[in-house]
Homo-oligomer: A and B are copies of this chain.
Amino acid sequence: MSIKNVASIGEFGLIDIIKTRFINLNNNDNIIAGIGDDSFCFKYGNKNICITKDMLIEDVHFKRHWISPQELGEKSIEVNVSDIGAMGNVRPRYALIGLGLPPKTSESFFTKLYKGFKKACDKYEMIIVGGDLVKADKIIISVMIVGVGEGKVTKRSGAEAGDLIGVTNTFGDAGAGLNLLYKYGAKHKYNKNELGLISKQNNPKARLKEAWKVAKYLTSLTDASDGLYISVDLLTKHSGKGAEIYMDKIPISSNLKKIFKENQKQLNFALFGSEDYELVFTVPNSKSVLLKKLVPHISYIGKIDASKKIKYFYNDKEQKIKYLGYKHF
Protein backbone atom coordinates (compact mmCIF):
# COMPACT_ATOMS: atom_id res chain seq x y z
CA MET A 1 0.00 0.00 0.00
CA SER A 2 1.45 3.35 -0.95
CA ILE A 3 1.25 6.08 1.66
CA LYS A 4 -0.65 9.04 0.34
CA ASN A 5 0.58 12.58 0.90
CA VAL A 6 -1.12 15.91 0.32
CA ALA A 7 0.68 16.35 -3.02
CA SER A 8 -0.74 13.10 -4.41
CA ILE A 9 -4.23 13.84 -3.05
CA GLY A 10 -4.21 17.39 -4.43
CA GLU A 11 -6.04 20.52 -3.31
CA PHE A 12 -9.48 19.45 -4.48
CA GLY A 13 -9.04 15.95 -3.03
CA LEU A 14 -8.19 17.50 0.32
CA ILE A 15 -11.22 19.78 0.15
CA ASP A 16 -13.35 16.68 -0.52
CA ILE A 17 -11.93 15.00 2.59
CA ILE A 18 -12.69 18.11 4.65
CA LYS A 19 -16.22 18.45 3.25
CA THR A 20 -17.22 14.82 3.66
CA ARG A 21 -15.56 14.05 6.99
CA PHE A 22 -15.29 17.23 9.00
CA ILE A 23 -18.13 19.51 8.07
CA ASN A 24 -21.71 19.02 9.14
CA LEU A 25 -23.80 22.02 8.36
CA ASN A 26 -27.43 22.24 9.19
CA ASN A 27 -30.15 24.62 8.22
CA ASN A 28 -30.18 26.75 11.33
CA ASP A 29 -26.55 27.78 10.92
CA ASN A 30 -27.60 30.73 8.73
CA ILE A 31 -24.86 29.90 6.24
CA ILE A 32 -25.39 31.15 2.69
CA ALA A 33 -22.06 30.15 1.17
CA GLY A 34 -19.45 27.95 2.75
CA ILE A 35 -16.48 25.81 1.94
CA GLY A 36 -15.74 25.59 -1.77
CA ASP A 37 -17.05 29.07 -2.58
CA ASP A 38 -14.98 32.24 -2.94
CA SER A 39 -16.03 33.61 0.45
CA PHE A 40 -17.85 32.34 3.49
CA CYS A 41 -21.17 34.18 3.92
CA PHE A 42 -23.76 34.06 6.65
CA LYS A 43 -27.10 35.74 7.07
CA TYR A 44 -27.51 38.29 9.82
CA GLY A 45 -30.95 39.86 10.03
CA ASN A 46 -31.50 41.12 6.48
CA LYS A 47 -27.78 41.49 5.79
CA ASN A 48 -25.18 39.10 4.43
CA ILE A 49 -21.79 39.06 6.12
CA CYS A 50 -19.06 37.64 3.90
CA ILE A 51 -15.57 36.75 5.02
CA THR A 52 -12.63 35.71 2.92
CA LYS A 53 -9.10 34.78 3.83
CA ASP A 54 -6.13 34.00 1.65
CA MET A 55 -2.45 33.40 2.32
CA LEU A 56 0.45 34.52 0.16
CA ILE A 57 3.70 32.76 0.95
CA GLU A 58 7.17 33.84 -0.17
CA ASP A 59 8.72 31.56 -2.80
CA VAL A 60 5.36 29.80 -3.27
CA HIS A 61 3.13 32.71 -4.37
CA PHE A 62 5.76 35.39 -4.93
CA LYS A 63 9.47 35.95 -4.98
CA ARG A 64 10.71 38.97 -3.09
CA HIS A 65 12.87 40.35 -5.91
CA TRP A 66 10.06 40.06 -8.48
CA ILE A 67 7.65 42.43 -6.81
CA SER A 68 8.14 45.57 -4.72
CA PRO A 69 6.95 45.45 -1.09
CA GLN A 70 4.27 48.07 -1.77
CA GLU A 71 2.99 46.13 -4.81
CA LEU A 72 2.96 42.98 -2.68
CA GLY A 73 0.87 44.76 -0.03
CA GLU A 74 -1.59 46.03 -2.64
CA LYS A 75 -1.81 42.65 -4.34
CA SER A 76 -2.54 40.87 -1.04
CA ILE A 77 -5.55 43.12 -0.54
CA GLU A 78 -6.72 43.03 -4.19
CA VAL A 79 -6.82 39.22 -4.34
CA ASN A 80 -8.95 39.09 -1.21
CA VAL A 81 -11.25 41.87 -2.44
CA SER A 82 -11.56 39.82 -5.62
CA ASP A 83 -12.95 36.93 -3.56
CA ILE A 84 -15.44 39.29 -1.90
CA GLY A 85 -16.43 40.68 -5.32
CA ALA A 86 -17.01 37.11 -6.49
CA MET A 87 -20.00 36.99 -4.12
CA GLY A 88 -21.71 39.80 -6.04
CA ASN A 89 -23.35 42.64 -4.20
CA VAL A 90 -21.04 42.74 -1.16
CA ARG A 91 -19.07 45.74 0.10
CA PRO A 92 -15.65 45.00 1.64
CA ARG A 93 -15.46 46.85 4.96
CA TYR A 94 -12.69 45.63 7.26
CA ALA A 95 -9.27 44.04 6.71
CA LEU A 96 -7.39 41.96 9.25
CA ILE A 97 -3.79 41.35 8.32
CA GLY A 98 -1.66 38.52 9.64
CA LEU A 99 2.05 38.73 8.91
CA GLY A 100 4.78 36.16 9.36
CA LEU A 101 8.15 37.90 9.05
CA PRO A 102 11.75 36.76 9.30
CA PRO A 103 13.41 38.71 12.18
CA LYS A 104 15.84 40.34 9.75
CA THR A 105 13.09 41.92 7.64
CA SER A 106 13.96 45.62 7.36
CA GLU A 107 11.76 48.35 8.77
CA SER A 108 11.59 49.82 5.29
CA PHE A 109 10.21 46.58 3.83
CA PHE A 110 7.63 46.43 6.61
CA THR A 111 6.42 50.02 6.17
CA LYS A 112 6.33 49.76 2.36
CA LEU A 113 4.31 46.56 2.61
CA TYR A 114 1.88 48.35 4.93
CA LYS A 115 1.75 51.34 2.58
CA GLY A 116 0.56 48.89 -0.05
CA PHE A 117 -2.07 47.41 2.28
CA LYS A 118 -3.25 50.90 3.16
CA LYS A 119 -3.34 52.17 -0.43
CA ALA A 120 -5.47 49.26 -1.60
CA CYS A 121 -7.73 49.47 1.46
CA ASP A 122 -8.24 53.21 0.89
CA LYS A 123 -9.16 52.53 -2.71
CA TYR A 124 -12.00 50.27 -1.61
CA GLU A 125 -12.93 52.44 1.40
CA MET A 126 -11.92 49.63 3.71
CA ILE A 127 -10.11 50.00 7.00
CA ILE A 128 -7.38 47.89 8.55
CA VAL A 129 -8.68 46.82 11.94
CA GLY A 130 -6.18 44.35 13.31
CA GLY A 131 -4.25 41.20 12.70
CA ASP A 132 -1.32 39.33 14.10
CA LEU A 133 2.45 39.45 13.78
CA VAL A 134 4.57 36.34 14.11
CA LYS A 135 8.10 35.24 13.41
CA ALA A 136 8.58 33.01 10.37
CA ASP A 137 11.36 31.76 8.07
CA LYS A 138 9.71 33.26 5.03
CA ILE A 139 7.26 36.08 4.55
CA ILE A 140 3.66 34.97 5.07
CA ILE A 141 0.81 37.35 4.36
CA SER A 142 -2.53 36.15 5.66
CA VAL A 143 -5.25 38.67 4.85
CA MET A 144 -8.85 38.40 5.94
CA ILE A 145 -11.57 40.68 4.69
CA VAL A 146 -15.04 41.17 6.10
CA GLY A 147 -17.71 42.39 3.71
CA VAL A 148 -21.34 43.31 4.20
CA GLY A 149 -24.09 42.99 1.62
CA GLU A 150 -27.81 42.89 1.09
CA GLY A 151 -30.12 40.82 -1.04
CA LYS A 152 -28.82 37.87 -3.03
CA VAL A 153 -25.30 36.50 -2.69
CA THR A 154 -24.04 35.24 -6.04
CA LYS A 155 -22.49 31.83 -5.61
CA ARG A 156 -20.59 29.37 -7.77
CA SER A 157 -23.73 27.29 -8.02
CA GLY A 158 -26.88 28.40 -9.80
CA ALA A 159 -25.99 28.20 -13.50
CA GLU A 160 -28.87 26.93 -15.70
CA ALA A 161 -28.76 25.15 -19.06
CA GLY A 162 -28.94 27.79 -21.77
CA ASP A 163 -27.09 30.47 -19.74
CA LEU A 164 -24.19 32.19 -21.43
CA ILE A 165 -20.72 32.07 -19.84
CA GLY A 166 -19.24 35.54 -19.61
CA VAL A 167 -15.90 36.97 -18.54
CA THR A 168 -14.47 40.45 -17.93
CA ASN A 169 -11.44 41.77 -19.84
CA THR A 170 -8.74 39.41 -21.13
CA PHE A 171 -7.17 36.20 -19.93
CA GLY A 172 -3.62 34.85 -19.76
CA ASP A 173 -1.59 38.00 -19.09
CA ALA A 174 -0.85 37.27 -15.43
CA GLY A 175 0.36 33.75 -16.21
CA ALA A 176 2.44 35.00 -19.12
CA GLY A 177 3.96 37.70 -16.90
CA LEU A 178 4.92 35.06 -14.37
CA ASN A 179 6.41 32.97 -17.16
CA LEU A 180 8.64 35.91 -18.16
CA LEU A 181 9.78 36.48 -14.57
CA TYR A 182 10.69 32.80 -14.23
CA LYS A 183 12.55 32.85 -17.55
CA TYR A 184 14.43 36.14 -17.39
CA GLY A 185 14.22 37.33 -13.76
CA ALA A 186 13.30 40.79 -12.55
CA LYS A 187 16.36 42.69 -13.79
CA HIS A 188 15.95 41.85 -17.48
CA LYS A 189 15.27 44.79 -19.80
CA TYR A 190 11.66 44.11 -20.75
CA ASN A 191 9.80 45.92 -23.52
CA LYS A 192 6.50 47.72 -22.98
CA ASN A 193 4.32 44.74 -23.87
CA GLU A 194 6.26 42.42 -21.60
CA LEU A 195 6.00 44.93 -18.77
CA GLY A 196 2.24 44.99 -19.37
CA LEU A 197 2.09 41.23 -18.80
CA ILE A 198 4.28 41.43 -15.68
CA SER A 199 2.12 44.23 -14.35
CA LYS A 200 -0.98 42.02 -14.62
CA GLN A 201 0.90 39.48 -12.47
CA ASN A 202 2.16 41.99 -9.89
CA ASN A 203 -0.68 44.53 -9.90
CA PRO A 204 -3.95 42.61 -10.24
CA LYS A 205 -7.16 44.61 -9.79
CA ALA A 206 -10.27 43.15 -8.24
CA ARG A 207 -13.32 43.62 -10.52
CA LEU A 208 -15.45 44.79 -7.65
CA LYS A 209 -17.33 47.60 -9.39
CA GLU A 210 -18.06 45.36 -12.34
CA ALA A 211 -19.37 42.68 -9.95
CA TRP A 212 -21.67 45.21 -8.28
CA LYS A 213 -23.06 46.38 -11.62
CA VAL A 214 -23.96 42.94 -12.96
CA ALA A 215 -24.48 40.75 -9.87
CA LYS A 216 -28.26 40.91 -9.77
CA TYR A 217 -28.55 39.46 -13.29
CA LEU A 218 -26.12 36.56 -12.79
CA THR A 219 -26.95 32.95 -12.02
CA SER A 220 -23.42 32.06 -10.86
CA LEU A 221 -20.11 33.85 -10.37
CA THR A 222 -16.47 33.27 -9.44
CA ASP A 223 -13.15 35.07 -9.88
CA ALA A 224 -10.43 33.45 -11.97
CA SER A 225 -7.52 32.89 -9.63
CA ASP A 226 -6.39 29.55 -11.05
CA GLY A 227 -7.08 29.99 -14.77
CA LEU A 228 -10.22 30.02 -16.86
CA TYR A 229 -10.25 26.23 -17.16
CA ILE A 230 -10.63 25.80 -13.38
CA SER A 231 -13.19 28.62 -13.15
CA VAL A 232 -15.45 26.99 -15.76
CA ASP A 233 -14.98 23.66 -14.04
CA LEU A 234 -16.02 25.13 -10.67
CA LEU A 235 -19.14 26.89 -11.98
CA THR A 236 -20.38 23.81 -13.82
CA LYS A 237 -19.56 21.34 -11.02
CA HIS A 238 -21.14 23.51 -8.31
CA SER A 239 -24.21 23.98 -10.51
CA GLY A 240 -24.42 20.31 -11.54
CA LYS A 241 -24.28 21.31 -15.21
CA GLY A 242 -22.02 21.04 -18.28
CA ALA A 243 -20.73 23.59 -20.79
CA GLU A 244 -19.48 24.29 -24.27
CA ILE A 245 -16.51 26.65 -24.43
CA TYR A 246 -15.56 28.38 -27.71
CA MET A 247 -11.86 28.99 -27.34
CA ASP A 248 -11.70 31.38 -30.28
CA LYS A 249 -13.98 33.70 -28.25
CA ILE A 250 -11.65 33.87 -25.23
CA PRO A 251 -10.41 37.47 -25.09
CA ILE A 252 -6.63 37.76 -25.40
CA SER A 253 -4.77 41.05 -24.84
CA SER A 254 -2.64 42.68 -27.52
CA ASN A 255 0.33 42.45 -25.13
CA LEU A 256 -0.03 38.70 -24.94
CA LYS A 257 -0.51 38.38 -28.71
CA LYS A 258 2.63 40.41 -29.38
CA ILE A 259 4.90 38.57 -26.95
CA PHE A 260 3.60 35.03 -27.41
CA LYS A 261 2.64 34.85 -31.06
CA GLU A 262 1.59 31.21 -31.16
CA ASN A 263 -2.15 30.89 -30.74
CA GLN A 264 -1.93 27.66 -28.73
CA LYS A 265 0.47 29.29 -26.29
CA GLN A 266 -1.91 32.23 -25.76
CA LEU A 267 -4.77 29.85 -25.05
CA ASN A 268 -2.68 27.81 -22.63
CA PHE A 269 -1.95 30.95 -20.63
CA ALA A 270 -5.62 31.91 -20.71
CA LEU A 271 -6.90 28.49 -19.65
CA PHE A 272 -4.18 27.44 -17.23
CA GLY A 273 -2.31 30.58 -16.21
CA SER A 274 -3.19 31.71 -12.74
CA GLU A 275 -4.06 35.03 -11.15
CA ASP A 276 -5.97 36.94 -13.80
CA TYR A 277 -8.61 37.72 -11.15
CA GLU A 278 -11.23 38.45 -13.81
CA LEU A 279 -14.88 37.62 -13.23
CA VAL A 280 -16.25 34.41 -14.74
CA PHE A 281 -20.03 34.13 -14.58
CA THR A 282 -23.20 32.76 -16.09
CA VAL A 283 -26.18 34.84 -17.16
CA PRO A 284 -29.52 34.08 -18.84
CA ASN A 285 -29.28 34.76 -22.58
CA SER A 286 -32.03 37.39 -22.26
CA LYS A 287 -29.81 39.59 -20.06
CA SER A 288 -26.57 39.21 -22.01
CA VAL A 289 -26.95 42.35 -24.15
CA LEU A 290 -27.91 44.50 -21.16
CA LEU A 291 -24.82 43.24 -19.31
CA LYS A 292 -22.50 44.31 -22.11
CA LYS A 293 -24.05 47.77 -21.94
CA LEU A 294 -23.35 47.94 -18.21
CA VAL A 295 -19.81 46.59 -18.54
CA PRO A 296 -18.57 46.93 -22.14
CA HIS A 297 -15.44 44.82 -21.62
CA ILE A 298 -17.49 41.66 -21.07
CA SER A 299 -17.10 38.78 -23.55
CA TYR A 300 -19.17 35.62 -23.89
CA ILE A 301 -17.05 32.50 -24.32
CA GLY A 302 -19.52 29.66 -24.11
CA LYS A 303 -22.78 28.36 -22.79
CA ILE A 304 -24.09 26.09 -20.07
CA ASP A 305 -25.86 22.82 -20.92
CA ALA A 306 -27.28 19.93 -18.95
CA SER A 307 -24.58 17.44 -20.03
CA LYS A 308 -22.36 17.57 -16.90
CA LYS A 309 -19.42 17.56 -19.33
CA ILE A 310 -17.30 20.46 -20.54
CA LYS A 311 -16.52 20.48 -24.26
CA TYR A 312 -13.94 22.80 -25.78
CA PHE A 313 -14.29 24.02 -29.39
CA TYR A 314 -11.98 25.98 -31.65
CA ASN A 315 -13.61 27.35 -34.82
CA ASP A 316 -16.54 24.96 -34.27
CA LYS A 317 -14.24 21.93 -34.04
CA GLU A 318 -14.12 20.06 -30.76
CA GLN A 319 -10.67 19.93 -29.14
CA LYS A 320 -9.37 17.58 -26.47
CA ILE A 321 -8.00 19.64 -23.57
CA LYS A 322 -5.56 18.28 -21.02
CA TYR A 323 -5.09 20.16 -17.77
CA LEU A 324 -1.71 21.92 -17.79
CA GLY A 325 -2.20 24.33 -14.90
CA TYR A 326 -0.66 24.94 -11.53
CA LYS A 327 -0.93 22.24 -8.92
CA HIS A 328 -1.27 23.70 -5.43
CA PHE A 329 0.79 20.91 -3.90
B55 near A94 (CB under 8 angstroms)?
Answer: no
B53 near A144 (CB under 8 angstroms)?
Answer: yes
Instruction: Report the copy number of this chain in the oligomer.
Output: 2
| Minimal beta-carbon separation of A69 from chain B (angstroms) | 13
A17 near B328 (CB under 8 angstroms)?
Answer: no
A17 near B134 (CB under 8 angstroms)?
Answer: no
A55 near B96 (CB under 8 angstroms)?
Answer: no
Q: Which residues of B contact A189 (CB under 8 A)?
A: none
Q: Which of B29, B51, B137 contacts A51 (CB 8 A)?
A: B51
Q: Known contacts A53-B144, A55-B132, A110-B6; decide if A40 and B96 are in contact (CB<8 Å).
A: yes
Q: Which of B37, B105, B328 contacts A6 (CB 8 A)?
A: B105
Residue A138 is within 8 A (CB to CB) of chain B in the complex = yes
Name A's interface SS: mixed
**Interface readout for A52-88 with B: 1 if CB under 8 Å, 0 if not?**
0111010111000000000000000000000000000
Chain-B contact segment, one of A122-130, A164-172, A259-267:
A122-130
Alpha-carbon separation in the docked complex, A134 to B140 (Å): 11
Q: Which residues of B contact A133 (CB under 8 A)?
A: 11, 14-15, 328-329
Alpha-carbon separation in the docked complex, A4 to B34 (Å): 42
Alpha-carbon separation in the docked complex, A131 to B55 (Å): 10
Alpha-carbon separation in the docked complex, A144 to B101 (Å): 19
Q: Which residues of B contact A37 (CB under 8 A)?
A: 130
Residue A117 is within 8 A (CB to CB) of chain B in the complex = yes
Q: Which residues of B contact A317 (CB under 8 A)?
A: none
Residue A217 is within 8 A (CB to CB) of chain B in the complex = no
Q: Which of B14, B44, B57, B94 contacts A140 (CB 8 A)?
A: B57
**Among the interface residues A23, A35, A130, which one has the most CB atoms of the partner chain B within 10 A?**
A130
B40 near A94 (CB under 8 angstroms)?
Answer: yes
**A 85-123 contacts with B by CB, 8 A:** 93-94, 96, 98, 100-108, 110-111, 114-115, 117-118
Q: Which residues of B contact A220 (CB under 8 A)?
A: none
Q: Which of B4, B11, B22, B53 contacts A118 (CB 8 A)?
A: B22
Alpha-carbon separation in the docked complex, A17 to B101 (Å): 15
Q: Which of B6, B114, B127 contacts A25 (CB 8 A)?
A: B127
Chain A residues packing against B (C-beta within 8 Å): 3-7, 9, 11, 14-15, 17-18, 21-25, 29, 31, 34-37, 39-40, 42, 44-45, 47, 49, 51, 53-55, 57, 59-61, 93-94, 96, 98, 100-108, 110-111, 114-115, 117-118, 127-138, 140, 142, 144, 146, 328-329
